[in-house]
Structure formats: C-alpha cells, structure tokens
Structure 1
Amino acid sequence: MPGPFELIIILVIVLLLFGGKRLKNIGGDLGGAIKGFKKSMKEGENDKLDDKEDIIEAKVVEEDKDKEKK
C-alpha cells in the first residue's frame, strides 16, 4: 500500500498528464455515471415489485385420456 508521499507524487503526475480542467471534467463525468447507475438499480428493484401485481390466476384443465389416444 503506497504511503502518503507516494500518493502525492502519483497525484502530481496525473495532474501533469491530464491538466486541472480535464481532470475536473473526468471527475464530474464519473460522479454522474455512478449516480445514474444507482438510480437505474433502484428503478430496477421497483420494477420487480410492480411485476407481482401483473400475476394472472390460471386453472389447469386435464383432458380425458380417451381423447388423447385418438
């Protein structure tokens, strides 16, 4: 596990490579993607609960065995 000094060096290198404005945009996009993912997961759970209301009762009807042999 890198120590605090190593993390600062990594942060400086990333800042030099991407620049401050670009790094800010990447962070905002990543945050928006995570929010969207969480929102879709919650909507998916709600959809599963709503599907239970759509259950239709059905009755099994057995045919006579004589009709099946014909």
Structure 2
Amino acid sequence: MGGIGIWQLVIIAVIVVLLFGTKKLRNLGGDLGSAIKGFKSAIGEEKEQNNSVEKSSAEKNSDSLADNSSSAAEASSKATSKTKETDQA
C-alpha cells in the first residue's frame, strides 16, 4: 500500500514527458552523462596525481637515504684512514 507500483511510475513518466518534451529530456540526459564522465575523469586524474606525488616523495626519501648512507660511509672511511696514519706515525 505504501510503495509505488509500476502503473504509478508509468503515469509519472508520461506527465514528465508531456511537461518537458522529449527533446529537452534528451538534452538533459546528455548533459547529465557528460557531467558524470567529467567527474570520473577528474577523480582519475586526482588519483594519478596522488600516486605520482607519493612516488616522487618515495624517490626523494630513498635518494636522501642513499646520500646519507654514502656520506656516513665516506666519513667512516676518512676516520679509518686517519687512524691508520696515526698508527703509522
């Protein structure tokens, strides 16, 4: 009793077509479809940008870690060479 049946939906559809006309409804459907496509592409672009930002930040972190480890290795080799020079003298 409380639900909308098939016949009520058909009557509503006929009234909407009579009020707005098929051409206007067709344009409305096309506009709605293009809006949905634009929304999906915007979301896809945002995800790609986030992924590229995450990748670039990960690359920067790995580069800085590599720089730090190479600096530490250089410092330890310098300290070792200084120790050897001191031992020889």
TM (normalized to structure 2)?
0.59
Cα deviations by residue, 1:19-43 (Å, 9 ceiling, x for unpaired): 0100100001001101111111111
TM (normalized to structure 1)?
0.73
Higher percent of residues as helix:
2
CA RMSD of aligned residues (A): 1.7
Structure 2 gaps, min length 5: 65-89
Query: Within 5 Å, which residues of 2 pair with 1:12-31?
Result: 12-31=14-33
The structure whose RCO (Cα within 8 Å, separation 6+) is larger is 1
Larger Rg: 2
State the identity %.
45
